[in-house]
């Protein structure tokens, strides 16, 4: 089983690229989705309610991710501590979900798995990967793309500031994908790499 880890800047196209690989037959592990699943678990919600109170929950008792994001992605020391707190709660759960999924896929003899995780290096998941693809997407384009998820450039900057620097992430890459010339150009690079990997 070949495991590809996708890294790059926030809102840089990691999931879009993982989706293209999934269309070709790769199994897709999306760390953001696993974190969202963890936020729906009773034991996780209990811990977050104890720590943050009711203000991050909606009337139906679900975590309101936008409310939690507002508490953890600031530059001030309190926000940093709050981010460390939720990472301490969520990362072990997400790690467990991802490991189980990887084991299941290995048992099913899945040939290619793509792990799309914003904190792949920070969480040491890269040790499980055979290849690391870095998605190179310039800031000027990403601030246009975030309009679709209604982040402001400041919100993008704050999330990026909480991750390993782009220069450091790039050093881990075994391949660099240029995502600056439009979707067809990106897709051609992915399909070329896919055919190298699978032939």
Ligand X SMILES: Nc1ncnc2c1ncn2[C@@H]1O[C@H](COP(=O)(O)OP(=O)(O)OP(=O)(O)O)[C@@H](O)[C@H]1O
Ligand Y SMILES: CC(C)(COP(=O)(O)OP(=O)(O)OC[C@H]1O[C@@H](n2cnc3c(N)ncnc32)[C@H](O)[C@@H]1O)[C@@H](O)C(=O)NCCC(=O)NCCS
Q: Is 101 annotated as a binding residue?
A: no
Q: Which of 14, 126, 162, 169 binds ligand X (CB under 6 A)?
A: 14
Q: How far is CA 154 from CA 10, 16, 48, 69, in A?
A: 12, 23, 25, 13
Query: Pick from ligand Y, ligand X, none: which does 13 bind, CB < 5 to 8 A by kind?
Result: ligand X
Residues 139-178, one symbol each (x = binds ligand Y by CB under 6 A, - = not), give --------------------x--xx---------------
Query: Pick from ligand X, ligand Y, none: which does 16 bind, CB < 5 to 8 A by kind?
Result: ligand X
Q: Buried b vs exposed e over 107-139: b needs ≥16 C-beta within 10 Å?
A: eeebebbbbbbbbbbbeebbeebebbbbbbbee
Calculate the dihedral angle through the C-alpha atoms of 53, 71, 69, 162, rounding to the nearest 10 degrees.
-140
SS3 of residue 68 by DSSP: helix
DSSP-assigned states of every residue in 125-141: GGGG-SEEEEEE--HHH
CB of 64 within 8 A of CB of 58? Answer: yes
Kindly state whether residue 148 participates in binding ligand X, applying the rule CB under 6 A.
yes
Q: Which is nearer to ligand Y, 66 or 108 (by Cβ)?
A: 66
Q: How far is the CB of 151 from ligand X (least distance, A)?
A: 9
Alpha-carbon distance of 133 to 163, in angstroms, equals: 17
Query: Pick from ligand X, ligand Y, none: which does 5 bind, CB < 5 to 8 A by kind?
Result: none
Q: Which of residues 64-103 bind ligand Y (CB under 6 A)?
A: 65, 68-69, 72, 83, 86-87, 90, 94
Q: How far is the CB of 98 from ligand X (least distance, A)?
A: 15
Give contact residues for ligand X (rule: CB under 6 A): 8, 10-16, 32, 118, 145, 148, 179, 182-183, 186
């Amino acid at each position: 089983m070949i495991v590809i880890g996708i890294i790059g800047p926030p809102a840089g196209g990691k999931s879009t690229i993982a989706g293209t690989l999934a269309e070709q037959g790769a199994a897709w592990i999306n760390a953001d989705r696993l974190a969202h699943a963890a936020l729906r678990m009773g034991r996780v919600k209990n811990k977050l309610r104890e720590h943050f109170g009711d203000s991050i929950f909606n009337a139906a008792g679900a975590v309101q991710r936008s409310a939690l994001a507002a508490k953890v992605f600031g530059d001030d020391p309190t926000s940093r501590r709050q981010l460390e707190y939720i990472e301490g709660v969520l990362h072990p759960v997400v790690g467990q979900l991802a490991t189980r999924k990887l084991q299941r896929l290995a048992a099913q003899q899945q040939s290619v798995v793509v792990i799309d995780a914003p904190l792949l290096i920070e969480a040491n998941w890269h040790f499980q990967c055979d290849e690391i693809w870095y998605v190179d997407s310039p800031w000027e384009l990403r601030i246009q793309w975030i309009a679709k998820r209604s982040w402001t450039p400041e919100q993008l900057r704050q999330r990026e500031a909480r991750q390993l620097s782009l220069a450091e992430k790039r050093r881990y890459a075994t391949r660099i994908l240029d995502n600056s010339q439009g979707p067809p150009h990106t897709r051609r690079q992915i399909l070329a790499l896919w055919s190298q990997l699978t032939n």
